[in-house]
Amino acid sequence: MVQTINQRIAAQIEGDFVVFLIGARLNRWWKFPEFIRVGRAMDRMVTELQQHPELGLLHVERTGTLLIQYWRSFEQLHAYARDRDAEHLPAWADFNRRLGSNGDIGIWHETYLVPAGQYEAIYNNMPAFGLAMAGSWVPASGQNKTSKGRLRQSDGADEPAYDDQTV
């Protein structure tokens, strides 16, 4: 069983960062072997990035066919995507050569540039997860007690929707 942190915890990360969402979708069930091939290529990329933290990947979460990645900077993400000696560019070229836009397998990504302090996150009864793994866990108390507080828009004393003092 996964160990959970059974208290309200917030995430904290220094400086700007990038959230990169990437995923794949099987559009034709009989192309499942190709879908597995795409998944294996993504696994190789993640392994490479985890073995080389200097490339800028801070943390990755996998949820089904969705990867949530946290990067130190867009420049590092872009450099990795264009690096001819890394796993991504050859895999991308292979995908386009084999599948292109034939409709068999959908791929997508979204990139979000997050300025320092322009985020908030809360976790309760969760294992180590997400942004808190890319940065650090901090107690959700004081200013970090409320979403407005975590965004530094209040001192954290604004009324939360629910706290453990109310029933």
pLDDT tens series, the chain, 167 aa: 889 999 999 999 999 999 999 999 999 999 999 999 999 999 999 999 999 999 999 999 999 999 999 999 999 999 999 999 999 999 999 999 999 999 999 999 999 999 999 999 999 999 889 999 999 999 998 889 888 889 989 887 876 555 555 43
Rounded to whole angstroms, the Cα distance separating 7 from 138 reads 11
Q: What is the pLDDT of residue 73?
A: 98
Rounded to whole angstroms, the Cα distance separating 74 from 82 reads 12
For 151-165, letters b (16+ CB in 10 Å) and e give: eeeeebeeebeeeee
pTM summary value: 0.89
For 2-18, letters b (16+ CB in 10 Å) and e give: eeeeeebbbbbbeeebb
Helix axes 32-51, 88-98, angle to 10 degrees: 170
Q: What is the pLDDT of residue 10?
A: 94
In 3D space, the residue among 145, 150, 143 whose CA is nearest the CA of residue 120 turns out to be: 150
CATH-assigned architecture of domain 17-114: 2-Layer Sandwich (3.30)
Q: Where in the chain is the domain with CATH 3.30.70.100?
A: 17-114
Q: What is the pLDDT of residue 158?
A: 75
Cβ atoms of 122 and 140 closer than 8 Å: yes
